[in-house]
Amino acid sequence: MAKTAVVVDKEYLKHQPGASHPERPERVQVLLDLAESLDGAKFQLLPPLAAKRADIEATHGKDHVKLIESTAQHNRFALDGDTITCRDSYGVSLLAVGGFLRVLDALAAQECRNGFALVRPPGHHALRDRAMGFCLFNTMAIGAEYLKRNHGAKKILIMDWDVHHGNGTQDAFYDDPSVLFISTHQYPYYPGSGAAKEVGSGAGEGFTINIPLPAGCADPEYAQAFHDIVVPAAEKFAPDWILVSAGFDPHRRDPLGGMGVSDAGFAYMAQRLLGLADKFTAGKIAFLLEGGYDLAGLRGSVSAVLETMQPGAAPASDAPKLSDSQIAPLIRHIQQLHERYR
């Protein structure tokens, strides 16, 4: 039976944005420790390979890649107030992108049943020509474009459940009808984008769905968003690949977020997406680590998702009870916004 592919590597520890920075090497260290405890009968650890320049330039252009490469000449380089590099950051970023592409290649070759790239730095804030929000290269956007060029993907669903809106990923595909981008995120919050009215443009109008949740939302609200919006939209789109920007900063322990999601809440969201993958993509679904800054919350949530990725995981009926109060007006508003695209 095919296993779940997992990419995680000690090389990811070498990106050092600073001792007090939230996006610290310990995030990967706890996941390296977790990987050592995984059942070899269920999981296959894959070593990352550095991404080719051309694959990154296809999304970011040559000038941005040269800029990030140039930071390797400095012990410390501030791309903005939050996004700091060291001499190893460029090389680590190549391995982060390459780790995700490694999972995608394994899925395309049917060498694994699904996969999770536990890499850093994160990527979903990076714009074509700008690093921001701890992100140097937009690994998710690069991966989606890679699937189109190399594996014939025609319809890609990108689900982003990070507490921060994935502005870089949205921007990359805002006018692209071959990518359905759906984001649940705390709003208003960094980076300030992700209002419900942002639905795409041109040929891509209706293929961006933002679910801007108020602070304090927990498992019931996320379950309702998935039940009422995410799953129906995905079923209508009928993707041939599903990619997940899995940020764990909506966790109730996270110091950067204001949400209340539990380990079980993340498992529920993963399970709904895995069900969609079984129905539409022949199981082709890949998870990519984005945020998540409380170490215990990160390890527990990743572990819960990895277990859910296995055959025989608890059914979605064991999910948190759906909420019908706090976000019901928001849900109705989003549904009405997108009715014209049905």
Which residues have a catalytic role annotated? 125
Per the CB < 8 A criterion, the answer to whether 264 and 219 are in contact is yes
